[in-house]
Each structure stands twice: as structure tokens, then as C-alpha cells.
Amino acid sequence: MLSSPLALVGIFISGLALNLTPCVYPMLSVTIALFSHETGRGEKHLGAAFGKALLYVAGMASTYSALGVSAALTGGFFGAAVQNQWVLLALALLMFALALSMFGLYEIQAPSFLLNWIGSKRRVGFIGIFLSGLFVGVFAAPCIGPPIVALLTFVGQTANPTTGFLVFFVLALGLGFPYLILGTFSGLLTKLPKSGEWLLWVKKVFGVVLLGLSLFYLALSLYHDFLRFVLPVAFAAGGAYLGFFDKTGNKSISFQNAKRLAGGFAIAASIFLLLAKPTAKVVWEEYAPQKITSAKEAGKPVVIDFFADWCLPCHELDSYTYSNSEVIQALEPFVRLKVDVTNPNTPEAMEPIERFEVLGVPTILFLNPKGKEVPNSRITGYVPPAEFLESLKPVQATFQGEKE
């Protein structure tokens, strides 16, 4: 889900949008002055300005990519932790607290000694510009800190360093893209809108997103059946508040109309999500040991999917892989069983976990018509449809060969 092309586009746009918060937007002209003062005096100086802007963005990308990889490397521990209902409740409270900071109830601020130390090290030279990009997140922490903490939480659940790197690298590119353009062509700065209350409104948009994440973790913890309503509720409530009830920036009629348009669009999206027909997916049966016995007697292969409600890659498989028409067709000959290990300590979950020595979720394994697991066929973690189908070929060859 996080590494899908559509999600990465959304993350890039989110990075762009973070520039429109009150802690970052006013810094644009000040920061660009570090490396754009030579533009407008020939191609050589234009190239130098672009090079400095690129260095600044490289510094940003280095910081955020390292954060993403670090979060993903904790995934094993994090995945085990979120099996606990109380941990999920704590995450819901964390997201709620982060949302409050975006609504201005308090600010996340780096320690003053760190701000002073970084400020004293800032230089206009190439190394100084790279370091400025490296530490820009410290100065902008009150606005970009909460969304980044939330994204780190999601990346941690993937336990995939490549995904962690990719997600935060793309976020940094989105955050840094305006610096590349404005740093190279500094004359465009004069065309930017002036700072105003609209910046506070953008900050509140991120606050609403964090409230949606809080609701998501709350549903995971207390009421799984509500999960499918989280997105529509977030769109409807967020659209109503941001578009019609919030008074920020209402002195400007044009901005007020833009708010109402955005709010109306969000409410319409909510209605669409509620009324949209569910897409076709692989149809599963609940796991039971006797179903494997029945499949063996009928000479049918078996696919077993171990999942949990708190597992993000499991939801990715359901949303993207198991809804693919080719995957649905390829799994048709199989007896398809799902094992719910949301609570792994129940007897129903422990029996298949111990029987098949499953170490984590998602895990997908394949049994041949004789009831034996096909060697080297086990899939762990999220795989996109094309990769899933490729992994399925040797499995299909095994039981088709046995038929012949």
C-alpha cells in the first residue's frame, strides 16, 4: 500500500503540502537566499544556484530516508507490539495528541540548545547548505513533526527497509521540490501568495488526517468491523469541519469559497466510498484442520493465508493482490483458507501457527494435493500481483505434474 505508485504520488503531494504550513512557508524566501543570490547573471550562475538547491534537497532526503529505514528496521519489534490491544489504544492516543498540536493546542519544539547549535553552524558554502538541508526538519518540527511521526509509525509496521527508504525519499522530494524550482529561478518568489491565515488552515488539514489515523487505530483496537467506515467518516467529518465550520481565513471571500469547494469535494468522496460496490476479491474460507483433510481426499491443492487485523501488509494484500483478476483466476483450483491471528494466543490461532511454524504475518503457504507444503513456496510480507503470480508458477507446476 505505502509503496504502490498511487500511494507514492500521494506522499509526494503531501511533501509539497507540508511547505504550505506556517512553520515552513515563511522560511522559503530566507532559505533560498542561501543559494540563489547569484541567479540572473548567466547560465553559469544559474547552474550554480541549481547545484546549491540540489545539495539542500539532498540533505533533506538523507535525513528523511535514514528515518524511514530506521523505522522499518524496528518493524519486527513493532509488529509484535501492535498485537496488543493496549498498544493500539496507545497509538490512537498518540495520533490524537499529534493532531491537537496541528490545531495549535501546543507545539512540538526541538530543544533550544539544539536549535542554537544548528543555527550557529549554518553557512552559505556547499557543506553549509547540505547541513542546512540535513537539519531543516528540526526547525520546522512544530508543523511537520506530527505528520512525520505518524508516517514513521506506518512504515514501522511494514518491516521493509526498502519501503521505508522509498517512502521518506519521495516525501523529501516533495518537500524539497519548491526549493529546486525557486532556488534556481528566484524571481518566481515574488509571484508566491503572501503568508496569512490560509497557512493555519493547511496545518489543520494535516490535523484532520491525524485524527483519521487515530480513529483507524481505535477501530483496530476495539471494533474491527468499523474499519471500512474510517475513511468515509474521516472524509465527511473533515470536509464538513474544514470547508464549512472552521472560520480560519474567512476574511478572504475567494479563500472561503475554495474551502467550501474542498469541503464539498471531501463530502462527495465520502458518499462515493460508502455507495461504491466492493471489488471482486479472492473468496476465502475460515481455516479448520478438517478442511485440509477434505482437500487431500479430493486431491485439491490448498493455499493458506495467515493474517491479522492490525497488520498493514495484510490489508495491502487484500486491497491490491487478492483483488487482481489474474490472481483470483489463478487461485480458483485451490482450497483457500484464512487463518486469523489477530489474537495469536487463542487455541484456534495457535494450532496452525505451531503446525506450520509461522513466524509472522502475512504468511502465505501452499499445500500440494497430498497435503504437504510445497518446498520453497512460502510467501512472507506484501507482494504485488505480478510477483505473487510469478511465485505461484512453481506451485502450479508441482500439482499439475502430479496430476499427469
> pTM value?
0.75
Rounded Cα distance between 190 and 54, Å, is 21
Q: How confident is the model at residue 315 (pLDDT cuts 50, 70, 90)?
A: confident
Out of 103-107, 109-113, 185-189, 266-270, least confident range: 109-113
Domain boundary among 196, 229, 264: 196
How open is the CA angle 157-383-296, to the nearest 5 degrees?
Answer: 110
Let me know if residue 236 belongs to a domain: no
pLDDT number for residue 154: 80
Domain count across the chain: 2
Let me know if residue 272 belongs to a domain: no
Provide mean pLDDT across the span 321-339: 95
Rounded Cα distance between 94 and 151, Å, is 12
φ, ψ (nearest 5 deg) of residue 35: -135, 5
Q: How confident is the model at residue 398 (pLDDT cuts 50, 70, 90)?
A: confident
pLDDT number for residue 5: 82
Give the residue, 145 or 11, on which the prediction is more confident: 11
Provide mean pLDDT across the span 228-237: 92
Say yes or no to pLDDT of 121 above 60: no
Let me know if residue 278 belongs to a domain: no
Distances (CA, A) of 122 to 64, 200, 295: 19, 28, 68
Give the residue, 66 or 183, on which the prediction is more confident: 66
pLDDT number for residue 358: 92
Out of 64-78, 144-158, 385-399, least confident range: 64-78
Q: How confident is the model at residue 126 (pLDDT cuts 50, 70, 90)?
A: confident
Note down the domain range covering 130.
Answer: 5-196
Task: Please give the mean pLDDT across all residues of the chain.
Answer: 84
The CATH number covering residue 369 comes to 3.40.30.10
Shared-domain flag, residues 12 and 151: yes
Let me know if residue 163 belongs to a domain: yes
- Residue spans of alpha helices (H) in 39-103: 43-73, 75-81, 85-102
The C-alpha cell at 5 is: 505508485
Q: How confident is the model at residue 332 (pLDDT cuts 50, 70, 90)?
A: very high
Provide mean pLDDT across the span 298-316: 88
How open is the CA angle 256-21-148, to the nearest 5 degrees?
Answer: 130
Domain boundary among 152, 175, 196: 196
Domain boundary among 140, 161, 196: 196
Provide mean pLDDT across the span 234-244: 96
Shared-domain flag, residues 31 and 174: yes
Say yes or no to pLDDT of 123 above 70: no
Say yes or no to pLDDT of 120 above 70: no
**Please, which residues have CB within 8 angstroms of residue 330's CB and are 6 or more apart in sequence?**
389, 392, 396
Say yes or no to pLDDT of 39 above 70: no
Rounded Cα distance between 393 and 397, Å, is 6
